[in-house]
C-alpha cells in the first residue's frame, strides 16, 4: 500500500497545481511533492514492502533498483524549477507544474507496473503528458521538436502496443486465461507460442526502444532535448528513458523464459553497439551543445542495452549505470540550461568564453562532461567498467573492443565541444544577456548536488543499493 503513495503523492500534487491560484507560488509545489516522493522512495528502498503474488503493480526488486534514482533527479530538478520559473515570471506555469508532477506519477507507475497492459498505459500517458512540457518555450522550433517527438514517439508507442497484443496472443495460444502479469507470463513460458513471442519481442524492442532513444529510432531525441527547457530534458533523459529500459527488461524476462534468450541478447547487444556508434559519430560532428547532450543520451542508452544483453552481471551493472546516467545527465542538463540562458545561443559558432560569464555553471558543465564520459572517480566509470568486464566475461571480445572505441570517440566529441564553449573570450551576445541571468543558488545547488551524488556513487555506492541491483538482476536472471 505504501508503494501506491509513490504514485498518489505526485498525482495529488498535480491536482493541487491545477487548483493553485498564483503563478508565483505554484512552483513551490514541485519541491514539496518531490521531497515527499524521494523520502518515501528511499525509505522503501531500505525497508522493501512485500509484493502480493499476482498483483498488477508493486515495488518489486526492479522498481526498487531504479525508481529512487529518478526520484532524486526529480527532487533536484524541482528545486531548480522554482528558480527557473522565477526567471519567467510572466509566463503561465499552471500546465507546466502540473505536467511535471503528472510525469513523475506516471513514471512511478510505469516502474512499478507488473502487468503488460498497465505498463503500456503508463508509458503512453507519460509520453502524452510530456508534450506540453516540450513546447513550453512556445517558439517555432519548439513546435517542430514537439511534432517530431509526438509522431516518432507515438509510432513507437503504437508498435509497442502491437507487440503487447502479440504477447497476449502467444499466451492465448498457449492456453492462457488472459492473465498478462509478467509473473504469470513467465510461469506459462514453456507453453507460449514461439513465433508470436519472437514477433512480440521485435515489436516491443522497436517500440520501447524508440522511447528509450536507441538508434536508429533516436531521431526525435536531439530535437526534443535541444528545444525543451533544461529540467524537461533532464527528466526525459534520466526518467522517461529509464521507464522504457525497465519495460524492456521485464519483457525480456518473459521472452527468455520462453526460450528466446539467444534472440534477446543478440538483438540488445547489436542495437546497443549500433546506438553507441551512431551517437559517437554525431557527437564528433554536432556544433550545438544541447543536442550534444541528446546524442550523449543515445550513447548511454546504448551502454544500458549492451549491459542488459549480458545476463545477470551485465544487468546489475546496467542498473548501476541507470543511476549514474540519471544523476550525471541531470547535472549536465541543468548547468547547460544556465549556460544557454546567459549565452543566448547554443552553437559553438555563437558561444564561447562561458567560464567568464557563468563561471560556476561552466565548471559544473566541464566536470559533468568528464563524469559522463567515464573519467574516474565518478560513478559512470565504475558502471561502464563493470559492463565492459561482463562483455569480456561473456566472450564478446569484438564487442568489448567496439565498446571501448565508441566510448573514446564520444569522449573526443564531447570534450571538443565543451571546451570550445567554456574557453576563449565571451561573445558580444553573451555580454549583453549574461548580466540579466546571473547565477543564483537556486540554479547552481541542484546540479552541484547531482554531480556530488554521482561522485559519491563512484567512491562508495551504499550497500543497500548494491543489494537492490543484485536482487533485481537475480529476479530477472535467476542464477542456474
Partner 1 sequence: MSGASNLLVGLAMGLNLLALASGRLPSIIRIAAAQGMVLGSLPLLLEGEFRWLTVLVAAGTIAVKGVVIPGLLQRALRAANIDREVEPLLGYIPSLLLGAGATIGAVVLAGMLPLLPEHAGSLLVPGSFATVVSGLLLLMGRAKAISQVCGYLILENGIYLFGLLLIRTMPLVVEAGVLLDLTVAVFVIGIIVDRIQREFDTLDTRKLTVLRE
* Contact residues for 167 (Cβ-Cβ < 8 A; gap 6+): 116, 180, 185, 196, 197, 200, 204, 251, 254
Largest CA distance in the chain: 70
**115 phi, psi to nearest 5 deg:** -130, 135
Shortest Å, Cβ 291 to partner 1: 8
Single out the residue of 223, 299, 384, 439 in contact with partner 1 (rule: CB under 8 A): 223
CB of 243 or CB of 443, closer to partner 1: 243
> What are the backbone dihedrals phi and psi of residue 338, each rounded to the nearest 5 degrees, phi first?
-60, -45
Per CB under 8 A, does 356 bind partner 1? no
Q: In 3D, which of 332, 251, 260, 248 has the Cα closest to residue 297?
A: 332
- 358 Rama sector, left if φ>0, alpha if ψ -120 to 50, beta otherwise: beta
Nearer to partner 1, 222 or 434 (CB): 222
Q: Nearest 5°: phi and psi at 377? A: -100, 30
Among 137, 155, 405, 475, binds partner 1 (CB under 8 A): 155
Can you tell me which of 131, 186, 187, 464 binds partner 1, judged by CB under 8 A? 131
Q: Which is nearer to partner 1, 46 or 151 (CB)?
A: 151
CA distances from 154 to 35, 151, 282 (A): 31, 5, 24
What are the Cα distances from residue 179, in Å, to 162, 255, 443, 469?
Answer: 17, 16, 47, 28
Give me 110's grid cell.
Answer: 510505469
Q: Which residue lies nearer to partner 1 by CB, 120 or 245?
A: 120
Min separation Cβ 144 and partner 1, Å: 5
Examine residue 24 and tell whether it contacts partner 1 (CB under 8 A).
Answer: no
Distance of closest approach, residue 10 Cβ to partner 1, in angstroms: 19
DSSP for residue 344: S
- Shortest Å distance, C-beta 297 to partner 1: 16
Q: Which one, 185 or 317, has the nearer CB to partner 1?
A: 185
Rounded least distance, CB 311 to partner 1, Å: 29
Report the residue number, 162 or 274, with the smaller CB distance to partner 1.
162
What is the rounded CA–CA span in Å between residue 282 and residue 291?
A: 9
Of the residues 2, 24, 91, 141, which one makes contact with partner 1 according to CB under 8 A: 141
Ranges within 50-79 binding partner 1 (CB under 8 A): none
What are the residues whose beta carbons fall under 8 Å from the beta carbon of 121, sequence distance 6 or more?
none
**How many of the chain's residues bind partner 1 (CB under 8 A)?**
47
Determine if 226 is a binding residue for partner 1 (CB under 8 A).
Answer: yes
Least Cα distance to 342 among 438, 425, 428 occurs for: 438
Comparison of 285 and 452: residue with beta carbon closer to partner 1: 285
Closest CB to partner 1 among 103 and 161? 161
Query: Binding of partner 1 at residue 340 (CB under 8 A)?
Result: no
Cell numbers linked to 119: 505498463
Contact call for residues 275 and 214 (beta carbons, < 8 A): yes
Round to whole Å and give the CA distance between 22 and 476: 47
Residues 160-189 touching partner 1, rule: CB under 8 A, are 161-162, 165-166, 168-169, 172-173, 176-178, 180
- Which residues, listed in sequence order, are joined to residue 185 by a DSSP beta bridge? none
Question: Segment near partner 1 (CB under 8 A), from 24-32, 120-128, 383-391, 400-408?
Answer: 120-128
Per CB under 8 A, 151 contacts partner 1: yes
Return d(Cα 24, Cα 27) in angstroms, integer. 7
Binding status of residue 336 toward partner 1 by CB under 8 A: no
Is residue 216 a contact residue for partner 1 (CB under 8 A)?
A: no
Q: What are phi and psi of 139, to 5 degrees?
A: -85, 165
Positions 392 through 431 that interact with partner 1 (CB under 8 A): none
Among 48, 58, 95, 117, binds partner 1 (CB under 8 A): 117
Q: What mask, x for binding partner 1 by CB under 8 A, covers residues 289 to 308?
A: --x-----------------
Q: How many residues does the chain have?
A: 480
Instruction: Report CA-CA distances (Å) from 74 to 34, 125, 240, 353, 422.
Output: 6, 18, 11, 30, 27
The nearest distance, CB 450 to partner 1, in angstroms, is 27
22: left (phi over 0), alpha (psi -120 to 50) or beta: beta
Q: Nearer to partner 1 by C-beta: 166 or 234? A: 166
DSSP per-residue codes, 340-377: HHHHS--BTTT---HHHHSHHHHHHHHHHHHHHTT-TT
Among 17, 29, 114, 145, binds partner 1 (CB under 8 A): 145
Residue 211 or 321: which CB sits closer to partner 1?
A: 211
Q: Which residues make up the interface to partner 1 (CB under 8 A)?
A: 117-118, 120-121, 124-125, 128, 131, 135, 140-141, 143-148, 150-151, 154-155, 157-158, 161-162, 165-166, 168-169, 172-173, 176-178, 180, 193, 195-196, 199, 222-223, 226-227, 282, 285-286, 291
Amino acid at each position: 500500500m505504501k508503494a501506491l503513495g509513490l504514485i498518489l503523492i505526485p498525482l495529488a500534487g498535480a491536482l493541487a497545481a491545477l487548483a493553485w491560484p498564483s503563478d508565483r507560488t505554484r512552483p513551490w509545489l514541485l519541491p514539496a511533492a518531490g521531497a515527499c516522493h524521494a523520502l518515501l522512495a528511499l525509505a522503501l528502498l531500505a525497508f522493501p514492502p512485500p509484493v502480493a503474488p499476482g498483483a498488477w503493480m508493486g515495488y518489486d526488486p526492479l522498481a526498487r533498483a531504479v525508481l529512487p534514482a529518478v526520484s532524486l533527479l526529480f527532487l533536484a530538478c524541482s528545486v531548480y524549477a522554482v528558480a527557473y520559473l522565477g526567471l519567467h515570471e510572466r509566463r503561465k506555469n499552471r500546465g507546466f507544474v502540473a505536467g511535471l508532477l503528472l510525469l513523475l506519477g506516471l513514471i512511478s507507475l510505469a516502474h512499478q507496473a507488473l502487468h503488460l497492459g498497465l505498463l503500456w498505459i503508463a508509458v503512453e500517458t507519460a509520453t502524452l503528458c510530456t508534450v506540453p512540457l516540450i513546447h513550453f518555450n512556445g517558439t517555432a522550433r519548439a513546435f517542430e521538436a514537439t511534432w517530431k517527438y509526438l509522431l516518432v514517439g507515438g509510432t513507437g508507442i503504437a508498435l509497442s502496443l502491437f507487440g503487447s497484443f502479440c504477447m497476449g496472443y502467444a499466451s492465448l495460444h498457449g492456453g492462457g486465461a488472459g492473465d498478462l502479469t509478467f509473473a504469470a507470463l513467465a510461469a506459462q513460458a514453456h507453453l507460449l507460442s514461439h513465433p508470436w513471442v519472437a514477433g512480440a519481442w521485435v515489436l516491443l524492442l522497436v517500440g520501447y526502444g524508440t522511447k528509450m532513444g536507441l538508434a536508429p529510432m533516436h531521431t526525435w531525441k536531439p530535437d526534443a532535448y535541444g528545444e525543451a527547457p533544461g529540467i524537461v530534458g533532464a527528466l526525459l533523459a534520466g526518467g522517461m528513458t529509464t521507464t522504457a529500459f525497465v519495460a524492456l527488461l521485464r519483457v525480456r524476462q518473459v521472452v527468455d523464459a520462453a526460450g528466446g534468450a539467444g534472440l534477446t541478447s543478440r538483438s540488445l547487444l547489436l542495437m546497443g553497439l549500433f546506438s553507441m556508434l551512431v551517437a559517437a559519430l554525431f557527437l564528433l560532428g554536432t556544433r550545438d551543445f544541447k543536442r550534444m547532450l541528446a546524442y550523449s543520451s543515445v550513447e548511454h542508452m546504448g551502454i544500458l542495452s549492451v549491459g542488459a544483453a549480458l545476463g545477470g552481471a551485465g544487468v546489475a551493472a546496467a542498473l548501476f549505470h541507470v543511476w549514474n546516467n540519471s544523476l550525471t545527465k541531470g547535472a549536465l542538463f541543468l548547468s547547460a540550461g544556465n549556460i544557454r540562458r546567459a549565452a543566448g545561443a547554443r552553437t559553438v559558432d555563437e558561444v564561447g568564453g562561458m567560464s567568464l560569464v557563468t563561471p560556476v555553471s561552466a565548471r559544473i558543465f566541464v566536470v559533468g562532461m568528464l563524469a559522463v564520459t567515464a573519467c574516474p572517480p565518478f560513478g559512470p566509470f565504475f558502471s561502464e567498467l563493470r559492463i565492459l568486464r561482463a562483455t569480456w566475461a561473456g566472450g564478446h571480445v569484438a564487442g568489448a573492443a567496439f565498446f571501448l572505441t565508441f566510448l573514446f570517440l564520444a569522449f573526443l566529441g564531447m570534450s571538443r565541444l565543451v571546451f570550445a564553449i567554456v574557453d576563449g573570450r565571451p561573445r558580444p551576445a553573451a555580454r549583453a544577456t549574461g548580466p540579466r541571468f546571473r547565477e543564483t543558488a537556486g540554479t547552481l545547488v541542484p546540479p552541484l548536488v547531482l554531480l556530488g551524488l554521482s561522485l559519491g556513487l563512484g567512491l562508495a555506492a551504499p550497500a543497500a543499493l548494491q543489494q537492490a541491483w543484485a536482487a533485481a538482476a537475480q529476479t530477472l536472471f535467476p542464477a542456474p
